């Protein structure tokens, strides 16, 4: 498994988003490894890319290392590294965007869609080497994506305002023509046909612009779960990734046993995802993993999810980590709820929200404060 995390850069004094990604990424590549820190479309964004990990301990160490190292380079540029799905304060658009030919092509083709695109996600890659199997695993995973979004919501504020949503990031990102729940894919050949049609239509510049909530990766032999907001801290990220790995493993078992996934219509999954983005875990959610989707209490759906993946959590020794994390989210709230709680405690001052989220830089000895 591997994790990609996107962050917003903010000025350490004003807490407003700032376009200093070029400077921070250049320095962070030297500190953390060139392949582990990347720029994103917006110049107020930085992305960390973990190494391939096999255990919870490996992933925890890697995410901690990358967050701390990148935060240290951000601090040298008078910035804070903030894991929030949207910029809490400051206007991130319009462009300039990152100065790369591909991004300029996207800007020309999609126009104003590239504005306000400093939105930050957590992508989890799970190794599935066979393309045919990866496509079928996506079919099984897609029905769980609304619940995974509800658990990971972490973007209630944007540009100084409470949006009323738990994940405003997913609403902003959802404007792209290739974003949202993936279609039901009959085979790897069908998947390639869909990719080709989207590129031919102009809705995608290339296959990498399929911004589905879950997809077969185009560049590595993985299934990539893309539905989550970037999560507030390392514990959240690691536990969420372990849950996704267990779910993907359970889905792969189903594929290999010949079980057919539920062909839930994209429109139903889109509606379920909207509800998850709007309310997070504070509402009834649409149980799209059931043969007849109905509204059900969010935490009852979590219990069903955990029961379905428990053997795989136990096989890797991950069940206790995931159980403790879910208990914490249940008691303390999602990232979105925690952001709002901080704002209330500080009389609505969103600078306090930024400070609460900001990643602590690694000290010179390489440990993490």
Query: How remote is the C-alpha of 65 from its chain's centroid?
Result: 19
Residue 223 phi, psi (nearest 5): -100, 135
Q: Is the dihedral of CA 108, 101, 198, 168 positive or negative?
A: negative
Task: Please check the confidence at residue 367 and state whether its pLDDT lies above 70.
Answer: no
Given this model, what pLDDT does residue 273 score?
98
Would you kindly state where each structural domain of the chain is located, as residue ranges? 90-356
- In this structure, which topology does domain 90-356 adopt according to CATH? Creatine Kinase; Chain A, domain 2 (3.30.590)
Given this model, what pLDDT does residue 364 score?
52
pLDDT band at 368 (very low <50, low <70, confident <90, very high): very low
Q: What is the mean pLDDT of residues 19-23?
A: 92
> What span, in angstroms and rounded, lies between the C-alpha atoms of 153 and 349?
21
Q: What is the mean pLDDT of residues 134-138?
A: 98
What is the rounded average pLDDT for all residues in the chain?
Answer: 94
Q: What is the mean pLDDT of residues 247-275?
A: 97
Task: For the chain, give the percent of residues with pLDDT over 70.
Answer: 96
> What span, in angstroms and rounded, lies between the C-alpha atoms of 17 and 224?
28
Task: Please check the confidence at residue 98 and state whether its pLDDT lies above 80.
Answer: no
Per residue in 158-189, pLDDT (tens digit) is 999 999 999 999 999 999 999 999 999 999 99
Q: What is the mean pLDDT of residues 228-236?
A: 98
DSSP string, 169-221: HHHHHTTSTTEESPPP-SSHHHHHHHHHHHHHHTS-SSGGG-EESEEE-SSSS
Per residue in 202-228, pLDDT (tens digit) is 999 999 899 999 999 988 999 999 999
Task: For the chain, give the percent of residues with pLDDT over 90.
Answer: 88
**Block residue for tokens 């990643």:** 359
> What span, in angstroms and rounded, lies between the C-alpha atoms of 176 and 199?
13
pLDDT band at 369 (very low <50, low <70, confident <90, very high): very low
């Amino acid at each position: 498994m591997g994790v990609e995390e996107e962050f917003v850069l903010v000025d350490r004094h004003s807490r407003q988003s700032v376009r200093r990604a070029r400077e921070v990424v250049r320095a962070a590549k030297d500190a953390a490894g060139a392949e582990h820190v990347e720029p994103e479309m917006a110049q107020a964004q930085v992305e960390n890319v973990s190494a391939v990990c096999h255990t919870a301990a490996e992933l925890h160490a890697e995410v901690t290392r990358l967050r701390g190292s990148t935060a240290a380079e951000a601090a040298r540029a008078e910035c804070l590294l903030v894991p929030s799905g949207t910029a809490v304060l400051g206007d991130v658009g319009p462009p300039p965007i990152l100065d790369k030919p591909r991004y300029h092509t996207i800007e020309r083709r999609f126009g104003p869609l590239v504005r306000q695109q400093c939105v930050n996600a957590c992508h989890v890659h799970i190794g599935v080497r066979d393309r045919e199997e990866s496509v079928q695993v996506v079919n099984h995973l897609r029905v769980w994506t609304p619940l995974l979004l509800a658990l990971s919501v972490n973007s209630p504020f944007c540009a100084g305002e409470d949006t009323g949503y738990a994940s405003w990031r997913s609403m902003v990102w959802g404007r792209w023509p290739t974003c949202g729940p993936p279609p039901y894919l009959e085979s790897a050949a069908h998947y390639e046909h869909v990719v080709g049609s989207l590129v031919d239509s102009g809705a995608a510049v290339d296959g990498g612009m399929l911004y589905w909530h879950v997809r077969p990766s185009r560049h590595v032999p993985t299934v990539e779960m893309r539905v989550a907001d970037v999560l507030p801290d390392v514990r959240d990220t690691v536990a969420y990734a372990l849950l996704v790995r267990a779910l993907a493993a359970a889905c792969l078992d189903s594929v290999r046993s010949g079980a057919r996934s539920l062909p839930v219509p994209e429109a139903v999954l889109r509606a379920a995802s909207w509800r998850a983005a709007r309310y997070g875990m504070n509402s009834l959610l649409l149980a799209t993993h059931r043969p007849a989707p109905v509204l059900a209490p969010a935490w009852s759906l979590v219990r069903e999810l955990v029961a379905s993946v428990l053997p795989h959590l136990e096989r890797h020794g991950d069940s206790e980590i995931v159980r403790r994390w879910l208990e914490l989210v249940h008691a303390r709230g999602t990232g979105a709820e925690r952001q709002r709680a901080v704002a209330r405690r500080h009389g609505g001052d969103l600078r306090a929200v930024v400070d609460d989220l900001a990643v602590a830089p690694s000290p010179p000895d390489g440990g993490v404060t």
